[in-house]
Amino acid sequence: MSDTLKLYNSLKREKEEFKPITEGFIGMYVCGPTVYNDVHLGNCRTFMSFDMIYRYLLHQGYKIRYVRNITDVGHLLDDGEDRILKGARLEQLEPMEVVQKYTNGFHDMMDVFNTLRPSIEPRATQHIIEQIEMVESIMKNGFAYEKNGSVYFDTLKFAKDTNKYGELSGRVIEDLMSESRDDLKNQSEKNHPSDFAIWIKAAPEHIMKWSSPWSVGFPGWHLECSAMSTKYLGETFDIHGGGNDLKFPHHENEIAQNVGSCGCSPANYWLHTNMLLMNGKKMSKSDGNTISPEQLFTGDSPHVTKGYSPMAIKFFMLMAHYRSTIDLTDDALQAGEKGYKKLMEAGRSIDQLAASAEGEGSIDVQISNLRQLAYDDMNDDFNTPKALSRLFEMVSIINGLKGGQLSLNDLSTSGLEMLKNTYHDFVHNIMGLKDDMVSNDQSEYMNGLMNLIIDIRKNARETKDWGTSDKIRDVLKELEIQLKDGKDGTDWTIN
């Protein structure tokens, strides 16, 4: 087994061996959501990808400080309006009410998708002092200038002095004439069009604003991540993540701000997830090419023929590598759902298997090879589709043992333990999947109850009590529970 974790570092544009700054510890920062409306499935994809990465690193024994922020100020729309203020205006709410409402919604959705909470979830508005201090140090180092109460990052000077502007995104400063649009209203104040605002003077009617040495105003969007990652993870930490649409300008500008204030690059490894598409096009609210998680759960959308459970959706997403796009189509979801059910069914069957022989059998060797390969896949830049394919080979073994095509004599007790542990480690701990139909605490009860029902049905059939056996069959059918009679007894599955 290759124990070395390799990950694709966007900064270097290649896979690199992962070496944490401090052995055994990892500092990881992921850009969180801007909480001005409901979280959409594309956001969910990115956060589920980082959840899988976080889970795998935890599984490998690292102690991790995982920081994921909440953007609640400064992320402006193209017309210059703050997204949170727009939400407040439209919904007639206090800006902080908007923030709380959609933060709660985001947390609920992340729970539905069974993702782990970060260690720290800092909000931009709670770190205004740190952001002002960072502006001051960038100015002190000569990389920012003030104009009419706003402060701009001097990209030309930064590029000239450090040769670092564009390092992440590959953009060339000369091509950036009209790219930085986060402060569109004040475009004319800038020395160069690619400069970006790090402090913005607020118009009198603007609600969210703070005193600063330059004006009553608010921080530029990119600044919060620089200030908060530095505060909680230090000037340089291990991993910085986000969706690849954030590479430019957000992450490029984060690097510029960090280097501009302390002289060092924030993160050693930059990880970027790819976009969720729908029917071949980027999922986007503006052209109607979107579906909310809730619509996907209930099936209440013209884009799907039926509803899909959160775990089936999560499994579907894990079937793609985090750096590949995913095209959400009804057909692909159906295929994903089938795979998910097969995987869960195998999980239920695994507990019913009992090895009868001691010592190494041929199946033991197969299991230990597959386990090695699954780890190799995850160590190769978190290749979940390949790791899942190994798990499906294990599913075939489980089903073969259950159905009698494989002999339990070829499996030792320790081989069976390894099969159970590998399944549990990968499916539950690393992929963060759970049985949608039956929650983990309920599964034991469910197994017990089903065994009882199967017994009663068996007795009823033996005594030709057709009334009871038919009733059991009909009620189970209504509950979409299917019984399968085999030579070793009766199994059950949930459709």
Summarize as ranges the residues that interact with Zn ion (CB under 5 A).
Answer: 31, 225
Q: Which stretch binds ligand AMP (CB under 6 A): 40-48, 117-125, 295-303, 404-412?
A: 40-48
Of positions 58, 275, 353, 456, contacts ligand AMP by CB under 6 A? 275
Q: Are strands 63-68 and 144-147 parallel, antiparallel or unpaired?
A: unpaired
Cα 53 to Cα 469: distance, rounded to the nearest angstrom: 48
The answer to whether residue 45 forms part of the interface with ligand AMP (CB under 6 A) is yes
47 vs 426, beta carbon nearer ligand AMP: 47
- Is 42 near ligand AMP (CB under 6 A)? yes
Integer Cα distance of 186 and 490 in angstroms: 72
290 binds ligand AMP (CB under 6 A): no
Question: Which residue type does 149 have?
Answer: G
Quote the least distance from Cβ 82 to ligand AMP, whole Å: 13
Report the partner that residue 265 touches, choosing among ligand AMP, Zn ion, none (CB closer than 5 to 8 A by kind): none
Instruction: Return the number of the residue (107 or 342) whose C-beta is nearest ligand AMP.
Output: 107
Structural contact between residues 389 and 431, judged by C-beta atoms closer than 8 angstroms: no
Q: Which does 46 bind (CB under 5 to 8 A by kind): ligand AMP, Zn ion, none?
A: ligand AMP
Of 42 and 95, the one with the shorter C-beta distance to ligand AMP is 42
**Tokens linked to 451:** 């065994």
- Distance, CA of 201 to CA of 174 (rounded, Å): 27
Min separation Cβ 75 and Zn ion, Å: 9
Our CB check for Zn ion shows the closer of 198 and 225 to be 225
Q: Is 253 in the site for ligand AMP (CB under 6 A)?
A: no
Count, residues near ligand AMP per rule CB under 6 A? 17
Q: What are phi and psi of 465, to 5 degrees?
A: -90, 75
Contact yes or no for 36/101 (Cβ under 8 A): no
Pairing of strands 237-243, 217-219: unpaired
Task: Single out the residue of 307, 318, 235, 304 nearest to residue 276, CA to CA.
Answer: 318
| Closest separation in Å from C-beta 188 to ligand AMP | 27
Cα–Cα nearest to 72, from 198, 217, 210, 224: 224
Q: Least distance to Zn ion from the beta carbon of 28, Å?
A: 13
Among 20, 27, 95, 242, binds ligand AMP (CB under 6 A): 242
**Residue 258: which of 283, 280, 231, 284 has the closest Cα?**
231
Q: Which of 69, 412 has the CB closer to Zn ion?
A: 69
Question: Which of these segments, 19-27, 30-38, 376-384, 427-435, binds ligand AMP (CB under 6 A)?
Answer: 30-38
- Residue 328 dihedral angles phi and psi, to the nearest 5°: -85, 110
Kindly give the residue spans of alpha helices, DSSP state H, lying in 237-359. Answer: 252-262, 293-298, 310-318, 330-350
* Residue in the shown chain whose Cβ atom is closest to ligand AMP: 243
Among 33, 87, 336, 432, binds ligand AMP (CB under 6 A): 33
- DSSP H or E segment with residue 152: strand 150-153
Residue 225 contact partner, candidates ligand AMP, Zn ion, none, CB within 5 to 8 A by sort of partner = Zn ion
Q: Which residues contact 360 (CB under 8 A, 6 or more apart)?
A: 412, 415
Q: β-pairing, 481-486 with 489-494?
A: antiparallel
Question: Which of ligand AMP, Zn ion, none is residue 42 near (CB under 5 to 8 Å by kind)?
Answer: ligand AMP
> Does 46 participate in binding ligand AMP (rule CB under 6 A)?
yes
By CB under 6 A, the residues from 433 to 492 that bind ligand AMP are: none
Task: State which of residues 132, 283, 346, 374 lies at the interface with ligand AMP (CB under 6 A).
Answer: 283
Nearer to ligand AMP, 219 or 243 (CB): 243
To ligand AMP, the closest distance from the beta carbon of 377 in angstroms equals 22
Residue with tokens 């197994």: 447
Task: Report in angstroms how near the CB of residue 72 gets to ligand AMP at its nearest.
Answer: 11
CB of 250 to Zn ion, least distance (A): 5
Residues forming beta bridges with residue 267, ordered by sequence position? 237
3-state secondary structure of 325: coil
Instruction: Please name every residue paired with 56 in a beta bridge, in sequence order, or none if there are none.
Output: none
Element holding 448 (H helix, E strand): helix 440-462
Q: Give the pair of three-digit tokens for residue 150.
A: 């706003």
Q: Are 323 and 272 in contact (CB under 8 A)?
A: yes
Indicate whether 318 belongs to the interface with ligand AMP (CB under 6 A): no
Select the span of 192-200, 271-279, 295-303, 351-359 touching ligand AMP (CB under 6 A).
Answer: 271-279
Nearer to Zn ion among residue 31 and residue 367 (C-beta) = 31
9, 10, 34, 257: residue in contact with ligand AMP (rule CB under 6 A): 34
For 234, residues 6+ apart whose C-beta sits below 8 A from its C-beta are 27
Nearer to ligand AMP, 38 or 235 (CB): 38
Looking at residue 71, the DSSP 8-state letter turns out to be B
Question: Which member of 245, 376, 393, 425 binds ligand AMP (CB under 6 A)?
Answer: 245
Please give the DSSP secondary-structure letter assigned to residue 126.
G
Binding site for ligand AMP (CB under 6 A): 31, 33-34, 42-43, 45-46, 71, 242-243, 245-246, 273, 275-276, 282-283
